[in-house]
């Protein structure tokens, strides 16, 4: 990890922290930008944009990016025409989409390699269980369709990754899987939804994918993007424990835990912070900062990075502070000028 920051962070009395960014999806096309797309040549367009954005990220001093791939599975399957209920199914094994996925994955890795980046590719998002999609039952990827996911996605993706160990930081199985067992939907805060998977089913899925990754490529690292610190106690984590921190959001107002508490959880490696907020709407002010992160984006980013570093985290990745505006023609980086300046100055401080 020592090559991911060009200069050390020098917070007083604190070990060095690696700063990374989240790159959730391109061109505002959640679930559709990676893989086949009706607008051709879509992939070359977003890879060119990805390459340009990596150069902009590099100017901040950042060399680590977490990127969402399949998201809610829209590119992964289709409505079964033979099903009277209109339920979702994987595309047939002969569908060219699977070849397109592998081709696009290679291009993405090559763009990262050419720019000197490491990548955390997140295979799937909890959006497969989104309430508006419940009747389609895309969440069956996690429950009764997981063997198909292993065979058609995990194995070929990891095979591609074998040629990019210099780029691959870790494979992420899923982003925030615990929402599939919750009765509240995170994007809207709506309550009363029925869980689409039990904690047991989620764990079976996570362990199956983690095991398959290691079977195909024992040298690759793995992680799961857990929403809460307490999720690390409930679910499989992979090699690198990861959780996300948005205090005061849906009644989670606890202070960011100190890293040494990993010993209590029995982890070999330190947990990383896969997401922290840069926008004032990403949770409330952080407990312990005495509202110093409430006076603007620059101050918020700088104060939160300082807190993360003081607590001894080795890796933290920031979520973008700008919104997705529905524009399919421009793939902006989504980090404002103030956020970029705060990141750059924090990394380059000496």
Question: 243 Cβ partners below 8 Å, 6+ apart?
Answer: 226, 227, 228, 229, 231, 232, 271, 273, 274
CB 22 within 8 A of CB 62: no
- Give a yes or no: residue 173 inside a domain: yes
Q: Is residue 45 part of a domain?
A: yes
Q: CA-to-CA distance for 295 and 58, rounded, in angstroms? A: 27
> What is the per-residue pLDDT across 169-179, written as a single tens digit (0 to 9) for each?
999 999 999 99
Domain that residue 152 falls in: 18-348
| 97-114 vs 42-59: helix crossing angle, rounded to 10 | 30
The pLDDT of residue 133 is 80
Q: Is residue 40 part of a domain?
A: yes
Q: What's the domain count of the chain?
A: 1
User: Which pLDDT score, from 0 to 100, does residue 10 have?
Assistant: 36
Answer yes or no: are the C-beta atoms of 143 and 205 closer than 8 Å: yes
Distance of CA 71 to the CA centre of its chain: 9
Q: How far apart are CA 183 and CA 314, in angstroms?
A: 33
Do residues 174 and 226 make contact, with C-beta atoms less than 8 angstroms apart? no
Helices (H), the chain: 42-59, 97-114, 146-149, 155-161, 199-216, 231-234, 262-265, 297-310, 337-348
Please give the structure tokens belonging to residue 152.
Answer: 């058609």
Give the per-residue pLDDT at 189. 62
Mapping DSSP onto H, E and C, the string for 289-315 reads: CCCCCCCCHHHHHHHHHHHHHHCCCCE
Q: What pLDDT is attached to residue 257?
A: 85
Domain-embedded: residue 165: yes
Q: For position 132, what pLDDT does the model report?
A: 79
Beta bridge partners of 88: 79
The answer as to whether 8 is a domain residue is no
3-state secondary structure of 122: strand
Tell me whether residue 97 is in a domain: yes
Residues of the chain whose pLDDT is less than 50?
1-2, 6-15, 350
Rounded Cα gap, residues 60 and 317, in angstroms:
13
**Are residues 57 and 21 in contact, defined by beta-carbon separation less than 8 angstroms?**
yes
Q: Among all chains, which residue has been given the structure tokens 């690198």?
A: 240
What is the reported pLDDT for 41? 62
Going 84 to 82 to 73 to 168, the CA torsion angle's sign is positive
pLDDT at site 323: 78
CB 284 within 8 A of CB 269: no
List the CATH number of the domain containing 140: 3.20.20.80
Residue 9 lies in a domain: no
How does pLDDT run across 196-227, given as a tens digit for each residue?
A: 999 999 999 999 999 999 999 999 999 999 99
**Within a domain: residue 12?**
no
What is the chain's Cα-based Rg? 19
């Amino acid at each position: 990890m020592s090559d991911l920051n060009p200069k050390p962070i020098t917070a007083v009395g604190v070990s060095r922290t690696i700063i990374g960014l989240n790159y959730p999806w391109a061109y505002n096309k959640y679930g559709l930008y990676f893989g086949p797309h009706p607008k051709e040549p879509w992939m070359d367009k977003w890879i060119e944009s990805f390459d340009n954005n990596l150069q902009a990220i590099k100017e901040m001093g950042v060399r680590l990016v977490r990127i969402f791939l399949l998201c809610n599975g829209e590119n992964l399957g289709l409505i079964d025409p033979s099903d009277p209920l209109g339920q979702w199914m994987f595309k047939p094994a002969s569908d060219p989409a699977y070849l397109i996925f592998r081709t696009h994955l290679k291009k993405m890795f090559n763009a990262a390699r050419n720019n000197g980046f490491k990548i955390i590719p997140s295979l799937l998002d909890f959006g497969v269980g989104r309430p508006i999609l419940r009747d389609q039952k895309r969440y069956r990827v996690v429950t009764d369709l997981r063997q198909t996911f292993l065979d058609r996605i995990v194995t070929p993706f990891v095979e591609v990754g074998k040629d990019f160990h210099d780029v691959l930081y870790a494979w992420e199985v899923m982003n925030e899987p615990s929402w599939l067992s919750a009765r509240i939907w995170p994007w809207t805060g709506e309550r009363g939804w029925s869980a689409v998977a039990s904690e047991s089913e989620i764990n079976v899925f996570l362990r199956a994918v983690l095991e398959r990754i290691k079977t195909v490529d024992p040298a690759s690292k793995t992680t799961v993007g857990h929403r809460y610190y307490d999720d690390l106690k409930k679910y499989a984590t992979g090699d690198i424990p990861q959780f996300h921190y948005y205090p005061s959001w849906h009644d989670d107002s606890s202070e960011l835990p100190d890293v040494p508490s990993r010993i209590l959880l029995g982890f070999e490696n330190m947990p990383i912070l896969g997401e922290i907020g840069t926008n004032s709407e990403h949770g409330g002010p952080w407990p312990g900062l005495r509202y110093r992160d409430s006076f603007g984006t620059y101050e918020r980013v700088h104060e939160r990075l300082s807190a993360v570093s003081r607590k001894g985290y080795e890796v933290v990745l920031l979520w973008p502070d700008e919104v997705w505006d529905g524009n399919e023609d421009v793939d902006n980086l989504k980090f404002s000028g103030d956020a970029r300046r705060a990141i750059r100055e924090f990394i380059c401080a000496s």
